[in-house]
Amino acid sequence: MSAPQSNKIPVQQVDLDATKHRVHPRFVTGFYQNIRVITMYALLAAFLLLPWLRYNGRQAIWLDVPSQHYYIFGMTFLTQDFYFIAAFAIIAAFTLFMVTVYAGRVWCGYACPQTIWTHLFQYVEKWVIGDRNKRIKFDKEPMSATKVFKRFLIYFIWFVFSMITATTFVSYVSGTDALYNSWQMIGFIPFPDWATWIWVSIFIFAFSTYVNAGYMREQMCIQICPYGRFQSVMFDKDTLVVSYDYERGEPRGARKKGTNPENLGDCIECQMCVQVCPTGIDIRDGLQVACIQCAACVDACNEIMDKVGYPRGLIRYTTERQLAEKEKSRVFRPRFFAYLILLTILCGGVLYALNDRVPLEIDIRRDRNQLSSLNQQGMIENSYIVKLTNKTQDAHTYKITLAPQEGLSLEIRFKDVPLDAGESFDMPVSIYGDPDVIEFGQTPVTLNVSSEDGKYHVSKQNVFTTQGQ
């Protein structure tokens, strides 16, 4: 922004403990805060409830890392399907870039977990102590039984929230059944019977939540978060940002109610925009890395403007082109289209791959000890291990057959291979070759696998060799 004071970016303190200069934001209501609170609590509810959702009798989203099976709404992914996860991550990153080009740090202000949990933890302080002024006063009060009790209550509620967050997070990996139905009795007391990795993960996530939302807060956004740092590179003159209309507001100054002195701008210096800011900055100093674009200052200032009878929008969502150059912003610009085209191609590719994907996997490994051998009937034998994986959500029985080829026959230990949903099985198979019919050297062979209902079918090639006897 080209406001004259935009270069007054406050010197950031490299101190990750936000309690030393704790920000006590005033809770504000208004158009943007309503959107923000609804979005934040909807996302929070989705995070807490999704592990409980069932699809075909199984946890709908279950990233079962220990067994390397990842279940997402009826689809089973294995580690070898990792390219899907990579593709989803790339799509998420480009969506974020595209949204940032258009709407700035809307992710930070409305959807980032750090913002949501910090808001939640600050709300606990408000509930126990009171709004901003009471919290500031409370911090300065000498230690007393009431102060100790209120502090303990806040820490206890934070601890409960952190534990709920950690167990929910881990339940996406361990599964809700393993997490909430595993109990053992220690004496007369029921105690969770969890694997070590679950205990360690819950401790790490609970500790991180408690420290991030309770202590680090805005310091996380200012000092650590890489997105906060590089988002300015993605901004251009047409990116929406929360800005103070310097020309309209300055010179700022207090005035008597109902007056509009000619020597003053519209900013009445009430400090409300600073008091509601969750990161404790003054938007009137210009665009700053600590501004998470939450628009709390927009709502607060609009409320003040209403009260003093001035037009709304002294602080507003605008663009540099509109505010400084007094020109119309361009929504559809080359960078926006570049991201859109890239995203369309990526999403199309992933949808095509998902649609084309057969939820049955076959992998053929040769017996490494011996390339081929002669059996008592004088036939050349090649041995393989066929690994079958049922990637559907239901049990199926599969049949393995050899694509017809003169002089070659298949011997298999089991005619039918029943597999549960997500189950894998290593099946030893042998292919026999008639030395009078097949050519010396290597012959391509194809194994076919079909489900009993004929719904799923895959084929895989390998070679039959006459060498190594």
Least distance (Å) from ligand SF4 to the CB of residue 29? 14
Nearer to ligand SF4, 304 or 417 (CB): 304
Least distance (Å) from ligand SF4 to the CB of residue 21? 15
* Site track for ligand SF4 across 243-272, x = CB under 6 A: -x----x--x--------------xxxxxx
According to CB under 6 A, which one of 220, 315, 419, 421 is a site residue for ligand SF4? 315
Number of residues that bind ligand SF4 (CB under 6 A): 30
Least distance (Å) from ligand SF4 to the CB of residue 295? 5
Least distance (Å) from ligand SF4 to the CB of residue 308? 8
Least distance (Å) from ligand SF4 to the CB of residue 355? 42
Least distance (Å) from ligand SF4 to the CB of residue 275? 8
Give Cβ neighbours of residue 152 (< 8 Å, ≥ 6 apart). none
Which region holds residue 407: left if phi is over 0, alpha if psi is between -120 and 50, else beta? left
* Site track for ligand SF4 across 273-312, x = CB under 6 A: x--xxxx-x-xx------xxxxxxx--xx--x--------
Nearer to ligand SF4, 237 or 312 (CB): 312
Distance CA 48, CA 164 (A): 8
Nearer to ligand SF4, 118 or 279 (CB): 279
Nearer to ligand SF4, 51 or 249 (CB): 249
Least distance (Å) from ligand SF4 to the CB of residue 204? 29
Nearer to ligand SF4, 109 or 422 (CB): 109
367 binds ligand SF4 per the rule CB under 6 A = no
Distance CA 245, CA 283 (A): 10
Nearer to ligand SF4, 68 or 271 (CB): 271
Least distance (Å) from ligand SF4 to the CB of residue 256? 15
Amino acid identity for residue 232 in this structure: S
Least distance (Å) from ligand SF4 to the CB of residue 221? 9
Omega before 10 within 30 of 0, i.e. cis:
no
Nearer to ligand SF4, 112 or 277 (CB): 277
Nearer to ligand SF4, 165 or 219 (CB): 219
Nearer to ligand SF4, 81 or 250 (CB): 250
Residues in touch with ligand SF4 (CB under 6 A): 242, 244, 249, 252, 267-273, 276-279, 281, 283-284, 291-297, 300-301, 304, 314-315
